[in-house]
Chains A and B, each alone.
Chain A
Amino acid sequence: MKGILKIAYKLLVNDRGKFAALLVGITFAVFLMVMMTSMFAGILHRSSSTVINIGAKVWVMDPAVNTTANNIPMPDYILDAVRSIDGVKYAVPLYSGGALVKLRNGVYQSVTVVGLDDTSLYGRPQLIEGSIDDIYAENAFVVVKDAEFPKLGAPVRGTEFEINDHRGVIVGIAKVTSSGLFGVPTLYTTYKRAVQYIPSMRYTVSFIMIEPKSSDAVAHIKKQVSSLGYEALTKDEFIQKISSFYKYQTGLGINLLLMTVISFVLGLSISGQTFYTFILENLDKFGALKAIGAKGKELVYVILFQATFAALTGYGLGVGVASFLIAMAKLRLPSYAARITYANLGYAFIMVLMIAGFSGYIGIRKVLKIEPFDIFRG
């Protein structure tokens, strides 16, 4: 079988024009599919940036909460109740909310303010400038140096601003794993200062973060929190909930899905049509092979090999081009969200196999129908 596949390889690759057209079609389709799904993955990742950056193992929230951006504050007694649940090592409150800061040049800028538990500073970011203890200083805020950092005028330690008629001072600059989705800078401060400086509703606890005594205790904690009328989710479950919200309850998922489907259809049409033309142009040769003594299954292997080889080569090129461009874009555009994951690559791989299967199928249908007698008749 190796010999006939080598022949198949040479027939395909030596027809440089057709092979190039096939590769361009499949590469372009894979490139678009990977770009689209990577963009989606990047956006979903950023939508969970608070959960990822804070890193708490279990999060307690109102069941109606879908994202960290739109939280429903909980009464303080829930924090006490959660702390009393068997299996909870400790539980701390988290404030997360939006605010407007007025910069020294008079410009107003939206920010996300994260208020960390005053006692433990649980979920604090990693500082690249300053000391975390300075967060206890008067009016102190730590700014995250991410893609949105320049919107605050690229502040340094000591930079002052105004937040809801309160003075704010940058005491540290931090880095985080993931930038936010909404293009606003992030400030960290203490929980008490956050609720004091930012206009709040009656209740102020956005989330309660739990450190369980062991992973076995999580199920019990979830059950107990549920009996309080709230929801406890592990970090991964919360990320999944946020992703599901953006995927299924906003237009984001369907729009990007449509673009991905269009890329797929585009790749399918280009490669399917080119491969079909390749088969048509070689139909007499396949007929001659049949007349010489090639069996139907051998011709099927030949065509499947050619379709799969072209598809996989196009896949490799498409993934390579997409990875290169995403890496380049990230170097130049820090806010560029695209992110290649194994799942993206897996989806693109499945789609490219479908392209190969479809192209192969139409080729096989045609070749199996050709009669060697047609070759004799000319």
Chain B
Amino acid sequence: MANLAVRAKELVKWFGEADAKTYAVRGASFDAHFGEILYIVGPSGSGKTTLLSMISGILRPNTGSVLVEDKDIWSLTSDEIADFRLNTVGFVFQDYHLFPRLTTLENVAIPLILKKLDWNESMQVAAKFLEIVGLKERAHLPPVKLSTGEQQRVAIARAIASSPDLLIFDEPTASLDGETGRRILDFVKKNILNERRCIIIVTHDNRIFEYADRIMKMSDGKIMDVEEGESDEE
């Protein structure tokens, strides 16, 4: 197995207090490695998104720890965690959250601008990533003028623009038809995944399970099973 990218240890997260206390994640531990695509699957309310948020520096666990590249991210200050998200993690949100008032190119450049790159340089670098996702000619259109599949690819370009080691996809195919979803995942597998990158995908779309290296099943806040994905069998 390749180098360890993420190590989650005994993560627990609950919401509310006293009688209203509800456990979202109950003692979840797992490892994710560079060069693999790890799926987190399970029914709605099983704690997938909460777990994903805790390992990506977005939601602080009540107990447990998250080591990313051997660094305990929840021992960092809030500014350091923001830097961690900016430099180490790339997010592809379920609804993409593209900025409709910016061009596609500017959307992709946002992480670079946050990294304080010069505006022109940010645009040049963003253009390269748009080219990677095959949307160079759409650079100056607003995202609303793009198809859903194209918007998904813009979101991927934005997520990889800062060259993150950890790429997080939240329900990437939820609003795509089966064919487009498979095409996107195929593209991710072939062009985005590399030996220095770990991709974690939350989904319950079994049409794309074939692209997983490993599939981690969750239920009721617990990791029930981790199995090898169909990808390795190919």
Residues of A participating in the B interface, judged by any CB pair closer than 8 Å:
1-4, 6-7, 10-11, 14-15, 284-285, 287-296, 298, 371-373, 375-378
A62 CB to nearest B CB, Å? 67
Cβ–Cβ contact A291 & B113, under 8 A: no
Given known A6-B119, A292-B110, A292-B111, contact A11–B97 (CB-CB < 8 A): no
User: Is there a chain A Cβ closer than 8 Å to B76's Cβ?
Assistant: no
User: Is there a chain A Cβ closer than 8 Å to B74's Cβ?
Assistant: no
Cβ–Cβ contact B114 & A4, under 8 A: yes
* A19 nearest CB neighbor, chain B only: B101
Residues from chain B with a CB closer than 8 A to the CB of A378 are: 94-95
Cβ–Cβ contact A11 & B101, under 8 A: yes
Complex A-B: 10 CB contacts under 8 Å: A3-B113, A7-B113, A11-B101, A285-B99, A291-B93, A292-B86, A292-B91, A294-B114, A373-B53, A376-B49
Residues of B participating in the A interface, judged by any CB pair closer than 8 Å:
49-50, 52-53, 58-59, 78-79, 82-87, 89, 91, 93-95, 97, 99, 101-102, 106, 110-111, 113-119, 122, 158, 162, 170
**Chain A binding surface SS class:** helix
Cβ–Cβ contact A14 & B113, under 8 A: no
The interface centre, meaning the residue of B53, B101, B111 with most chain A CB atoms within 10 A of its CB, is: B101
In the complex, how many residue pairs between chain A and chain B have their CB atoms under 8 Å apart? 90
Cβ–Cβ contact A292 & B85, under 8 A: yes
Residues from chain B with a CB closer than 8 A to the CB of A289 are: 110, 114
The docked-state distance in angstroms from the alpha carbon of A378 to that of B44 is 13
Q: Which single member of A295, A371, A376 contacts B52 (CB below 8 Å)?
A: A376
Residues from chain B with a CB closer than 8 A to the CB of A371 are: 58-59
Residues from chain A with a CB closer than 8 A to the CB of B50 are: 373
A21 CB to nearest B CB, Å? 15
B84 CB to nearest A CB, Å? 8
The interface centre, meaning the residue of A15, A290, A298, A378 with most chain B CB atoms within 10 A of its CB, is: A378
Cβ–Cβ contact B97 & A7, under 8 A: no
Cβ–Cβ contact A288 & B114, under 8 A: no
Cβ–Cβ contact A4 & B113, under 8 A: yes
* B111 nearest CB neighbor, chain A only: A292
Cβ–Cβ contact B102 & A10, under 8 A: yes
Given known A14-B102, A373-B58, A377-B49, contact A3–B117 (CB-CB < 8 A): yes
Cβ–Cβ contact B101 & A291, under 8 A: no
Residues from chain B with a CB closer than 8 A to the CB of A287 are: 97
Cβ–Cβ contact A372 & B102, under 8 A: no
Given known A285-B99, A292-B91, A293-B111, contact A376–B170 (CB-CB < 8 A): yes
Cβ–Cβ contact A291 & B85, under 8 A: yes
B74 CB to nearest A CB, Å? 14
Residues from chain A with a CB closer than 8 A to the CB of B49 are: 376-377
Cβ–Cβ contact B82 & A2, under 8 A: no
